[in-house]
């Protein structure tokens, strides 16, 4: 029996496992270090910079977190709400627009649809940073400068998510759509009852991407809301200000705590969406 198992050692699989383990460790160790050191007092980090863990039990502290959440200068709760508003509305609005557009591209036999789509794909070659100035001038002229709406709107024209969703919709058998049409469904019904439920997983994934992008966005946030009072800041921008403020005395623990605070909502999001990412859509209702 044992020799049997030995014979069937899957060498390529073992190599892959080892490589993946090392890669995961490389990703996870900094995260783990950030988590641990966010609970470490500033002095301890300063005097023992090469120690991975707090040097003694007394040096474990939650003071970093307390100072984030209690500071009068930094309304962190407000920032979280602002960030949630921006991230949720921009990702949800984007999903609505992109899904409807993808539906039109795939299932409505429109003239020039392919040409238009190629053009849209072509715009992906323009680096985002190039668009910053024109976008800012547009937002400024619309009077949305210094508002959260100014953070939400520019992201709604993205092509990448549309491309992703369109590719998935292409894999939905056209028979299903025609069958729904023969059942008497109109396009909006087909969209809400057939296409969206089938594309649930890809929509979730794109939603997560959109949420992450908006949550972590710093450059654009700095441009739009940088000159406003702290009440209007988003979490990522606000925390960057906290870090900036600590640079004179280098409170690394506080900086790391900020990072962890910014990460937690994302992690929670991920736990919910992760199942959907893995879950494939079974197409066995169609026999080929």
Partner 1 sequence: MSAEKKVNFKKARELYKASGAKIVEDSIDSFVSIRDVDKIYPNGVQAVFHFNLDIKEKEFIVFVGPSGCGKSTTLRMIAGLEEITNGKLYIDKVLANTKSPDQRDIAMVFQSYALYPHMNVYDNMSFGLKINKAMLPLLDKEGKPVSDENGKPLLVKRHYTKDEINDLVFGAARILNLGDYLDRKPKELSGGQMQRVALGRAIVRRPKLFLMDEPLSNLDAKLRISMRSEILKIHHRVGATTIYVTHDQTEAMTMADRIVVMNMGHISQVDTPRNIYENPSNLFGAIFIGSPSINLMNVTYADSTITFGNGSALKLQDGTNAKIKAFFDSKLLFYKQTLQRFELRHHEILPVLKSLLRTKNEAKIQELLGLHYLCEREQEIKDLLAKVLSEQKYKNDVRKIMALIEEKDHVLSSIVDELDANKPNTEAHKPVVLNKKNKGVRTPHEEKEILEKLISYFEKGYEHTNLILGVRPEFFALGDANSPVKGKVFLQEYLGTEKYVYFSFLEKEYVVRVSSKEDFKRGGDINLTFDLHDVHLFDPVTGLSIA
Q: Which residues bind partner 1 (CB under 8 A)?
A: 173, 175-176, 178-186, 189, 193-194, 197-198, 281-288
Secondary element (H or E) of residue 201: helix 200-216
Is the dihedral angle over the CA atoms 231, 236, 237, 239 positive or is it negative?
Answer: positive
C-beta closer to partner 1: residue 17 or 174: 174
The C-alpha atoms of residue 179 and residue 25 are separated, in whole angstroms, by 49
C-beta closer to partner 1: residue 133 or 281: 281
C-beta closer to partner 1: residue 107 or 220: 107
Residue in 111, 24, 44 with CA at minimum distance from that of residue 253: 44
Least spacing, CB of residue 284 vs partner 1, in Å: 3
C-beta closer to partner 1: residue 104 or 156: 104
Degrees (nearest 5) of the Cα angle 20, 24, 26?
120
Task: Write out the two tokens for 52.
Answer: 């991975």
The C-alpha atoms of residue 213 and residue 269 are separated, in whole angstroms, by 13
Task: Write out the two tokens for 239.
Answer: 């925390």
Least spacing, CB of residue 187 vs partner 1, in Å: 10
C-beta closer to partner 1: residue 195 or 258: 195
3-class state of residue 132 by DSSP: helix
Least spacing, CB of residue 272 vs partner 1, in Å: 19
Least spacing, CB of residue 35 vs partner 1, in Å: 39
Least spacing, CB of residue 202 vs partner 1, in Å: 14
C-beta closer to partner 1: residue 198 or 214: 198
Task: Write out the two tokens for 98.
Answer: 């992109």
Least spacing, CB of residue 101 vs partner 1, in Å: 22
C-beta closer to partner 1: residue 190 or 242: 190
Least spacing, CB of residue 177 vs partner 1, in Å: 9
The C-alpha atoms of residue 108 and residue 195 are separated, in whole angstroms, by 13
Q: Where are the alpha helices (DSSP H) in 50-112?
A: 63-70, 76-107
Residue 169 contacts residue 108 (beta carbons within 8 Å): no
Task: Write out the two tokens for 210.
Answer: 């959109």
The C-alpha atoms of residue 257 and residue 43 are separated, in whole angstroms, by 15
Local structure of residue 40 (DSSP, 8 states): B
C-beta closer to partner 1: residue 43 or 183: 183
Least spacing, CB of residue 258 vs partner 1, in Å: 42
Task: Write out the two tokens for 156.
Answer: 């709604």
């Amino acid at each position: 029996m044992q020799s049997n198992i030995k014979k069937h050692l899957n060498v390529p699989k073992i190599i892959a496992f080892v490589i993946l383990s090392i890669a995961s460790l490389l990703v996870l160790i900094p995260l783990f270090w950030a988590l641990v050191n966010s609970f470490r007092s500033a002095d301890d980090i300063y005097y023992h910079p090469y120690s991975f863990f707090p040097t003694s039990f007394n040096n474990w502290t939650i003071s970093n977190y307390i100072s984030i959440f209690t500071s009068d200068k930094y309304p962190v709760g407000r920032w979280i709400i602002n960030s949630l508003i921006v991230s949720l509305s921009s990702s949800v609005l984007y999903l609505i627009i992109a899904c409807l557009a993808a539906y039109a591209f795939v299932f409505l036999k429109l003239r020039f649809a392919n040409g238009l789509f190629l053009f849209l794909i072509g715009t992906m070659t323009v680096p985002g940073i190039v668009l910053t100035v024109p976008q800012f001038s547009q937002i400024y002229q619309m009077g949305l400068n210094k508002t959260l709406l100014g953070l939400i709107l520019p992201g709604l024209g993205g092509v990448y998510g549309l491309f992703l969703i369109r590719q998935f919709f292409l894999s939905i058998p056209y028979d299903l759509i025609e069958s729904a049409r023969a059942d008497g469904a109109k396009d909006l019904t087909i969209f809400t009852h057939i296409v969206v439920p089938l594309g649930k997983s890809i929509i979730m994934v794109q939603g997560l991407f959109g949420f992450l992008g908006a949550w972590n966005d710093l450059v654009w946030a700095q441009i739009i809301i940088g000159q406003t009072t702290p009440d209007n800041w988003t979490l990522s921008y606000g925390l960057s200000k906290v870090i900036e403020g600590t640079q004179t005395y280098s409170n690394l623990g506080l900086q790391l705590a900020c990072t962890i605070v910014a990460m937690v909502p994302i992690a929670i999001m991920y736990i919910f969406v992760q199942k959907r990412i893995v879950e494939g859509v079974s197409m066995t209702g169609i026999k080929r």
